Chains A and B, each alone.
Chain A
């Protein structure tokens, strides 16, 4: 645990000084959300939710999907860079040479990635609410639970796929190819929950999607902890 903590602190401290990952993630996600707002009339998110009509999609539902698409794209970009930072200069070899339990290594790297996601969302979520004119009272506090649950799975899967893609020749292409299909169910669950909250729906009525998020968290954390030692070896 001490080593996992040291690895996470090392990554976060390096990022605080180098600013190589989080700013790129934030700018990328903000740009996506900003561009998307051009497709909807200003303040349309503030309009009362119309009664359900077959085939019709509310602006708030679109906004929920856009938020998670922006998070997913930014996360993949950031996690790829985070994994490269360890691979550059063969520092992953050095870590593999040290008596560090691969689970600690995975936990440390995943914790740092979780930190990057938190920084991203601290900037992104308020801007997203503002741009789409969403009712923040309807979103919070349940939205915190959705963000945390989704972020744990994203960070765990991103850490695993990021490390796995580092040994491929076209690693920047491999990372999204591996991560997108695997993360789709997690992102869909988060988007569904966010959409329900944005529409003023009950979190309890959609709790099965939250359970699904937790299941994906458990799956990705377990897979990462078990498989990480294999992906960091030659």
Chain B
């Protein structure tokens, strides 16, 4: 259970997040939707423990985020990749940081469909390839809590389709931010791409395996 109580964040005189109280149930997938500036990224960073709240509290299993940071996976706007390391070196580096075996890096690389770019420097990857690698990095330690900020950015159809396989796991609590109300909330699922929204259900069996978004939480921009 992730529990936010009167959680707020202010940068200088600007409120990024007005006091907010909400809960994310264990094992559920929640989509945060809202326009730019509504505080989705700030909320995710507060949950991850990257930012400290101006007021209020955030508890994950009754503990502050930093106390369980090894169990949190986070993918933000930045991909956290080192440009002069290869794809596999990046993943193995994060394996070491999270006490995961190095073989996990090879497995994840295969899972995100990047084996053919194993020895390519991260700086030479396309935006979509880097995003695949970043998704793999976010789950390299098999986290119980996964926080994703616009995870489909830069992904092509094939890339978007493998996202559920990468992030889905029974018992994992997923909180995902999207600025696209239609994309995140259509049919009660987070549709992987605009192409899938246009495609008939029958022609798009992949959408069936997408984890159901039990909750769609709509955020409004704070009035400063």
Contact = CB atoms under 8 A, between A and B. Distances in A.
Contacts of B69: 96-99
A229 B48 CA distance: 17
B74 A3 contact: no
Contacts of B72: 97
Given A10-B93, A98-B70, 9 more contacts: A3-B97, A6-B93, A17-B121, A18-B83, A90-B78, A91-B80, A96-B69, A97-B50, A97-B72
Interface of B: 48-52, 69-70, 72, 74, 76, 78-85, 89, 93-94, 96-99, 121
Contacts of B80: 89-91, 93-94
Nearest to B147: A97
Smallest CB-CB A-B distances: 10 pairs: A99-B70, A94-B80, A14-B84, A98-B97, A90-B78, A18-B84, A17-B84, A6-B96, A89-B78, A93-B50
Given A98-B69, A98-B70, A234 B51 contact: yes
Contacts, number: 63
Contacts of A6: 93, 96-97
Contact of A100 (B49, B83, B97): B97
Q: How large is the interface on A (under 10, 10 to 19, 20 to 34, 35 or more residues)?
A: 20 to 34
A93 B84 CA distance: 19
Contacts of A13: 84-85, 89
Interface in A13-35: 13-15, 17-18
A14 B85 contact: yes
A91 B78 contact: yes
Interface of A: 2-3, 6, 10, 13-15, 17-18, 89-91, 93-100, 233-234
A91 B74 CA distance: 12
A102 to B, nearest CB: 11
Given A93-B50, A99-B69, A10 B78 contact: no
A96 B48 CA distance: 10
23 contacts: A6-B97, A13-B84, A13-B85, A14-B82, A18-B83, A89-B80, A90-B76, A90-B78, A91-B80, A91-B82, A93-B76, A93-B80, A94-B74, A97-B49, A97-B69, A98-B70, A98-B94, A98-B97, A98-B98, A99-B69, A99-B97, A99-B99, A234-B52
A167 B76 CA distance: 19
A97 B74 contact: yes
Nearest to B98: A98
A98 B51 CA distance: 15
A172 B154 CA distance: 32
Contacts of B98: 98-99
A100 B69 CA distance: 10
Contacts of B49: 97
A89 B130 CA distance: 13
Contacts of A234: 50-52
A91 B76 CA distance: 11
Contacts of A18: 83-84
B147 to A, nearest CB: 10
Contacts of B51: 234
A97 B138 CA distance: 11
B96 A3 contact: yes
B85 to A, nearest CB: 6
A100 B93 CA distance: 12
Of A89, A93, A98, chain B has the most CB atoms within 10 Å of the CB of A98
B88 to A, nearest CB: 13
Nearest to B99: A99
A96 B66 CA distance: 9
A90 B76 CA distance: 9
Nearest to A99: B70
